[in-house]
Structure 1
Amino acid sequence: MAQELTVDVDPAEVGFDPARLDRLDRRLQRYVDDGLLPGYLVTVARHGRLAHVGLGGLRHVEDALPVETTTRWRIYSMTKAVTSVAAMMLHEEGAFQLNDPIAEWLPEFAHTPVYVAGSAQRPVTEPQTEPIRVWHLLSHTSGLTYGFHHAHPVDEMYRAAGHEWGAPPGADLAECTAQWAALPLVFQPGSEWNYGVSTDVLGRLVEVLSGQPLDEFFEQRVFAPLGMTDTSFGLREDDDPSTLARLYAPVRRDPLGPPVGIQPLDVLGDGFLSKPKYLSGGGGLVSTAPDYLRFVEMLRRRGEHDGGRLLGPRTVDHMTRNHLPGNADLATFGRPLFAETPLRGVGFGLGFATVVDQARYGVVSSLGEYNWGGAASTAFFVDPVEDLTVCFYTQLMPSSTLPVRTYLRSLVYQALVD
């Protein structure tokens, strides 16, 4: 039985002006009314109290099914936060040190070459001068990439091997990991930041270290303790398919012009209607707003939850501080391509982006706010200064279609008046 969401405090009691908070829903509803967003759900909590739940539009436009608090969403890269927490739980048990080379457990990465020059068909490579270490996977500084970037010859090599928005037919996580290890790295590990399959490889590391498939580890060690009863890799056999929101893509009159509408993207969306063979720690989970709120609130409480603790508070602090050299931001240390966050003023920790310069970020925020999002425009952020969590759900791909995340922050923070 899917859990409901219940506002449990008057917004004014936790520092929000209710009338100002309503501006958030009005802005999101305008996207729905303009036909640019199918539907949405947003939660705002402070001091552990749920102050606002906003929802509107449809989870399935063609069948006129409304968004409900129990709607399931493809959270895509918000899966990465779960995988990062799982890995750090093993770290706390002494399974590895952050500086350990991953080839100790994934020997296929011992001799992965590094791209230097040339085309995807005839790349010039060199040996690793620095091995991929566990913290490189957690911080996306491993040199691994994504096929959907379309920005580098190695991206093209990923696509040619069947790695763009999914896995080659029949391949599981172990097979995918071996295939990535056989392709060149984009750069020497630790020398740059690049969004890629690092967290998927981290998920494979969790499997090897724990001796469990990733879905079993998640269920037993993360979901069950947190009471996350509706989060899984794709829908389970007894789940109602109509509870899963349909995935949409923008319609544009001009390829470079603004969106003018939306259309179903079932070619990607239908892959989540059942459990996949490939368990993607980087983007494979389906969840609900009540479930993911439990996970995000655990982070806000620095690893604690109602039934106990997943992580020590200092471990969460370490994960959510900037790990880029010299406290650099992604615009300085990263590559100028897609990520689930702005690049200016934002650093990266162990599984999360973190704000290091609010002025350069260009959005009202707090120093040390940490966050991530998913390809279908879902997003969350945790503000330790304001003791605040915000989560947003929709199903519009890619997440760069609309500036929802910018509005999300500006309209939440303008409502804080204490």
Structure 2
Amino acid sequence: MASPESKGFDRDRLSRINSWMERYVEERKFAGSSVLVARGGEEVWFNATGQRSVERDLPFERDTVVRIYSMTKPITSVAIMMLAELGLFHLDAPVSEFIPAFGKMQALVPGAIRFEQTETAPAPTLRQLLTHTSGLSYAFNPGLVGKIMAEAKIDFRSPTASLEEMSNRVAALPLAFQPGRHWEYSVAIDVLGRVVEVVSGQSLGAFLQNHILGPLGMTETAFVVPEGTGDRFASLYTPLSGEPMELNAPREAGDTLRLADEAGSSGFERPACESGGGGLVGTIDDYIKFVEMLRNGGMAAGGRLLSPRTLDFMMRNHLPGDIASMGPRSFAEQPMEGMGFGLGGSVVLDPGRVGVPGSVGDFSWGGMASTMFWVDRKLDLSVVFFTQLSPSSSYPCRAELKALVHGALVG
């Protein structure tokens, strides 16, 4: 661990992060949280506060295991790019080459009000899946496709259906729009997880363990709560009275920290589907290893995962403009104005339009339980924030944390 001063930080200003975290706990917005800030590959600040379980009075600590939800997506995207580097496919290949169920697709016509109002559509390409321009959707998104996904419980969190089965069920639905026409947050990365299985001949969990998690030394990150973690698995809370991901018709609960999921009854302890879009759990010390690999051009303690050129390619904007220019509006883990999208994460195009301090080219993503990371390669900066409150749209914690970190960076 390096001193903040040696890495260009003002120690007193960094300490504001602790006060901010404590305020969120005192106001019962978060049960607990942790943050890790590194610069130039060295840790300069860590803090944890609050509780991982309010009911059992257990503290939120450095080794607390959390649901990272959509922070799984960048890891799965790296898996796809590792296979692409082997020359096993190109990114403009249609997904139907790997999952035949996508062979005959239909898309809703513009302005459709019924599911029958469709037209023929091509199968989305791998690149369109990586960039959320495939026409797929999420059950919590507005619109017809989101509605039918919610009714059919197509969310890749099934305790019984496999990744293959869930992907085939998605393929049977119409697309929300013609591939490439819009940006909409979706289960696309879950589908890509199935592509990893088909191409590699391994389960998604085995591939990630053998080629990413293992080489990075991420020993407490997996699709199930790792054995030996005891009571370190955090509880999940929500301010909503219904499902913690019910974004279309949210109803506030009387308690801002209503228990939504806990150890002993959590679906993350016995999942049948290895969700490449949102299924991993892990610790903050594990996830910073992945973020540092991104910052460090693909290198890991166990060897190189990707080439620097491939990572540069991933962290470029792959949209014709910002996300906002490619509506319709859907839920997203980051702002849409001034923000582009790469392969597996968002890319800052204009910090002024994003409305948050940062550098052009910042690469980041978050998870539904309000977790987030960002890597700023211009400033040699890596940050990971963990908490467990869903939905992540409840409070502006991500923008506030970025402002705090940049407000402490003076050199």
Shorter-chain TM range is over 0.9
Does residue 326 of structure 2 align to residue 359 of structure 1?
no
> What is the distance in 2 between the residues matched to 1:267 and 1:304?
35
Does residue 299 of structure 2 align to residue 304 of structure 1?
yes
The CA deviation at 1:208 is 0.2
Does residue 67 of structure 2 align to residue 74 of structure 1?
yes
**Structure 2 length normalisation: TM-score?**
0.94
> What is the distance in 2 between the residues matched to 1:51 and 1:41?
14
2:224 corresponding residue in structure 1: 234
- Mapping for residues 19-418 of structure 1, pairs under 5 Å: 19-116=12-109, 118-120=112-114, 122-128=115-121, 130-149=122-141, 151-164=142-155, 166-168=156-158, 170-236=160-226, 238-250=227-239, 261-266=256-261, 270-325=265-320, 328-418=321-411
SS in 1 for 2:318: coil
- Give the 3 Å change call, closer, same or farther, for CA 78–259 of structure 1 in structure 2: farther
The CA deviation at 1:24 is 1.1
> What is the distance in 1 between the residues matched to 2:399 and 2:348?
13
> What is the distance in 2 between the residues matched to 1:372 and 1:142?
19
Measured against aligned partners, the alpha-carbon deviations of 1:349-407 in whole angstroms (never above 9, x if no partner) come to 11110000111111111000010000000000000110100100000000011111011
SS in 2 for 1:233: coil
Measured against aligned partners, the alpha-carbon deviations of 1:134-168 in whole angstroms (never above 9, x if no partner) come to 1011111110000111x11111111222224x545
**Cα pair 1:143 1:188 within 8 Å, conserved:** yes
> What is the distance in 1 between the residues matched to 2:240 and 2:11?
35
SS in 1 for 2:66: strand
> What is the distance in 2 between the residues matched to 1:353 and 1:282?
15
> What is the distance in 2 between the residues matched to 1:356 and 1:39?
32
> What is the distance in 2 between the residues matched to 1:259 and 1:32?
17
The CA deviation at 1:249 is 0.3
Aligned length: 403
SS in 1 for 2:35: strand
**Structure 1 length normalisation: TM-score?**
0.93
> What is the distance in 1 between the residues matched to 2:112 and 2:232?
47
The CA deviation at 1:123 is 2.4
**Cα pair 1:235 1:272 within 8 Å, conserved:** no
**Cα pair 1:234 1:271 within 8 Å, conserved:** no
The CA deviation at 1:131 is 3.2
SS in 2 for 1:176: helix
SS in 2 for 1:184: coil
> What is the distance in 2 between the residues matched to 1:337 and 1:15?
38
Structure 2 residue runs of 5 or longer lacking an equivalent are 242-249
**Cα pair 2:240 2:251 within 8 Å, conserved:** no
Counterpart amino acid of 1:107? P
Counterpart amino acid of 1:123? E
**Cα pair 1:84 1:351 within 8 Å, conserved:** yes
Which deviates further from its counterpart, 300-309 or 359-368? 300-309
SS in 2 for 1:382: strand
> What is the distance in 1 between the residues matched to 2:102 and 2:295?
35
Measured against aligned partners, the alpha-carbon deviations of 1:238-272 in whole angstroms (never above 9, x if no partner) come to 333411000000168xx777986311002899434
Which deviates further from its counterpart, 301-310 or 180-189? 301-310
Measured against aligned partners, the alpha-carbon deviations of 1:38-92 in whole angstroms (never above 9, x if no partner) come to 0000000000000000110000011110011111010000000100001100000
- Give the 3 Å change call, closer, same or farther, for CA 267–394 of structure 1 in structure 2: closer
> What is the distance in 1 between the residues matched to 2:68 and 2:151?
26
Counterpart amino acid of 2:294? L
The CA deviation at 1:306 is 2.5
Measured against aligned partners, the alpha-carbon deviations of 1:314-370 in whole angstroms (never above 9, x if no partner) come to 100000110001xx1111113212100011110001111000011111111100001
- Give the 3 Å change call, closer, same or farther, for CA 179–408 of structure 1 in structure 2: same
